[in-house]
């Protein structure tokens, strides 16, 4: 899960030489009209962005107005086994971007899909850069669709929001028929011009890291105005104000100004990318969903800064209606103690978890043009603390006889969405692994269903159902 993966590299090379890596099937099998349980029918399928979804947006470092461009993405899923996917991708953009030089770029694809169809993919470019793609497999009246959202780049940020459609055996992306977006109702067309803030009950946030330090509670007010909007894409200025000083350098100063570029899918899934005006400050990525609360729409977001020391925050962000004056960040000791809405997850405190025997496989990849190796891994969580949806503890990963320990921190929304951080205890300054997931109800309780993609040259892809011990 960390950049300290040298021993994994040696294991991966041995796997590739001995033939334990992932191989490709050779005979494409068309998906059945009514697919059986599981997603194995996805093997040897191809997916492409239809003409009406080709638009993407690029926000350059230090600018506030994003640049519209077109981006075609074709995903070829070659193998599916136990919820793990491998394959190839081809991406073509209309102008140079962080993901492509304007020509066709090839990338390796690896990722996972849960039984419910939640998707978490990683595209690895020839130069080693990676793009995370989140989304879901949906069955619509016109057929199957991969509804995806992604953000690429560390300084210039490219955001894509598209519904990829299944290609027929001999069909090319250029042969797809365009459906006018104007003929489809846009449920979020009212977003332009709206402003959003964090209500007092959700001002609590945490500074996570460095290794060895317990998560530090802070108060964080985030305000943004959506000045622009285009069929699910939105952008505008953002201000974050924190108190007290978080002790993490410039991110701990009183206010930070950022530029937001985000998107919302037709189903309401949200992806947020905040680019700092000060290049010394970290970018922020957020995931969320449009949620009705007390009769009004909210943006229920989980966000975190992209740095070794992370500021993480979840909140129901509400609209600034006439007469509403957003509260400044309050002193931490004046914030609510335990939110009633998150008390359904209070059992997480002092709990331990282990991945089920059915979800102990992962994929280990050593960069572009390497064949991912299927590996067995055991993961345990020991959660000690819980407050208003935030939790922290430790994680232990056992992989092929080797063990690595991590500090664990994360948040869970009242509806059960999970955002987790795994911080290496033995590699100061290493970037955390981010996990996405949800609390999933089972007959005798819940599982913590998570999907992770580790950073670094050697990447571990994994999804698991974590069962309470």
Q: Which residues contact 245 (CB under 8 A, 6 or more apart)?
A: 252, 253, 254
3.40.50, 2.40.360, 2.40.128, 2.60.40: CATH of 348-468: 2.40.128
Residue 141 and residue 184: Cα distance in Å, rounded? 13
Q: Tell me whether the CATH fold assigned to 39-177 matches the one assigned to 348-468.
A: yes
Give the CA angle between residues 347, 309, 7 to the nearest 5°. Answer: 90
Spans of all domains in the chain: 39-177, 195-336, 348-468
* Predicted confidence pLDDT, tens digits, the chain (469 residues): 444 444 334 333 334 333 343 333 333 344 444 444 579 999 999 999 999 999 999 999 889 999 999 999 999 999 999 999 999 999 998 876 666 666 678 999 999 999 999 999 999 988 888 999 999 999 988 889 999 999 988 889 999 999 999 999 899 999 998 776 556 789 999 999 999 999 999 999 999 877 778 889 999 999 999 999 999 999 999 999 988 644 444 444 468 899 999 999 999 999 999 998 877 788 899 999 999 999 999 999 999 987 778 889 999 999 999 999 999 998 888 888 889 999 999 999 999 999 999 999 999 988 887 788 999 999 999 999 999 999 999 999 999 889 999 999 999 999 999 999 998 887 666 678 899 999 999 999 999 999 999 887 889 999 999 999 9
Q: pTM of the predicted model, to two decimals?
A: 0.89
Q: What's the CATH fold of domain 39-177?
A: Lipocalin (2.40.128)
Q: Token match 């060895």: residue? A: 212
DSSP at 115: T
Cis before 61 (ω within 30): no
Q: Which residues contact 207 (CB under 8 A, 6 or more apart)?
A: 215, 216, 218, 246, 247, 248, 252, 309, 310, 311
Q: SS3 for 347?
A: helix
How would CATH label the architecture of 195-336?
Answer: Beta Barrel (2.40)
Name the region of 10 (left: φ>0; alpha: ψ -120 to 50; beta: rest): alpha
Q: Which residues contact 132 (CB under 8 A, 6 or more apart)?
A: 120, 121, 122, 150, 151, 453
């Amino acid at each position: 899960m960390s950049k300290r993966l040298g021993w994994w590299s040696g294991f991966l090379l041995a796997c590739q030489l001995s033939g334990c890596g992932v191989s490709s099937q050779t005979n494409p099998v068309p998906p059945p009209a009514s697919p059986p349980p599981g997603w194995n029918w996805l093997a040897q399928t191809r997916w492409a962005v239809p003409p009406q979804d080709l638009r993407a947006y690029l926000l350059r470092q230090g600018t506030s107005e994003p640049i519209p461009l077109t981006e075609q993405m074709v995903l070829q899923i070659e193998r599916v086994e136990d919820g793990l996917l491998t394959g190839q991708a081809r991406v073509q953009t209309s102008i140079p971007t962080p993901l492509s030089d304007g020509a066709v770029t090839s990338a390796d694809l690896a990722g996972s899909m849960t039984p419910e169809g939640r998707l978490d993919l990683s595209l690895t470019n020839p130069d080693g850069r990676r793009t995370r793609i989140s989304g879901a497999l949906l069955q619509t009246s016109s057929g199957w669709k991969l509804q995806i959202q992604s953000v690429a780049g560390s300084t210039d940020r490219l955001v894509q929001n598209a519904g990829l459609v299944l290609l027929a055996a001999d069909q090319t992306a250029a042969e797809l028929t365009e459906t006018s977006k104007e003929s489809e109702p846009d449920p979020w067309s009212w977003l332009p011009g709206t402003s959003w803030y964090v209500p007092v009950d959700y001002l609590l946030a945490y500074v996570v890291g460095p290794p060895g330090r317990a998560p530090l509670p802070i108060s964080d007010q985030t305000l943004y105005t959506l000045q622009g909007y285009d069929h699910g894409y939105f952008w505008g200025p953002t201000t974050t104000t924190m108190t007290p000083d978080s002790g993490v350098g410039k991110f701990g100063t009183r206010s930070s100004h950022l530029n937001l570029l985000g998107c919302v899918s037709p189903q309401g899934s949200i992806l947020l990318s905040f680019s700092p005006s000060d290049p010394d400050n970290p970018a922020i990525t957020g995931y969320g969903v449009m949620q009705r609360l007390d009769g009004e729409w909210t943006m229920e977001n989980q966000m975190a800064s992209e740095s070794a020391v992370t500021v993480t925050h979840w909140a129901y962000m509400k609209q600034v209606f006439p007469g509403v004056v957003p509260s400044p960040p309050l002193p931490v000791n004046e914030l609510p103690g335990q939110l009633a809405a998150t008390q359904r997850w209070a059992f997480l405190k002092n709990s331990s978890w282990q991945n089920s025997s059915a979800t102990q496989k992962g994929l280990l990849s050593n960069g572009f043009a390497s064949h991912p190796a299927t590996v067995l891994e055991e993961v345990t969580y020991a959660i000690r603390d819980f407050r208003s949806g935030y939790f922290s503890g430790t994680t232990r990963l056992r992989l092929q006889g080797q063990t690595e320990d991590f500090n664990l921190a994360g948040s869970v929304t009242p509806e059960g969405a999970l955002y987790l951080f795994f911080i290496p205890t033995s590699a100061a300054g290493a970037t955390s692994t981010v996990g996405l997931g949800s609390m999933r109800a089972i007959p005798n309780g819940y599982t913590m269903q998570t999907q992770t993609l580790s950073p670094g040259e050697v990447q571990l892809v994994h999804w698991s159902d974590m069962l309470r011990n």
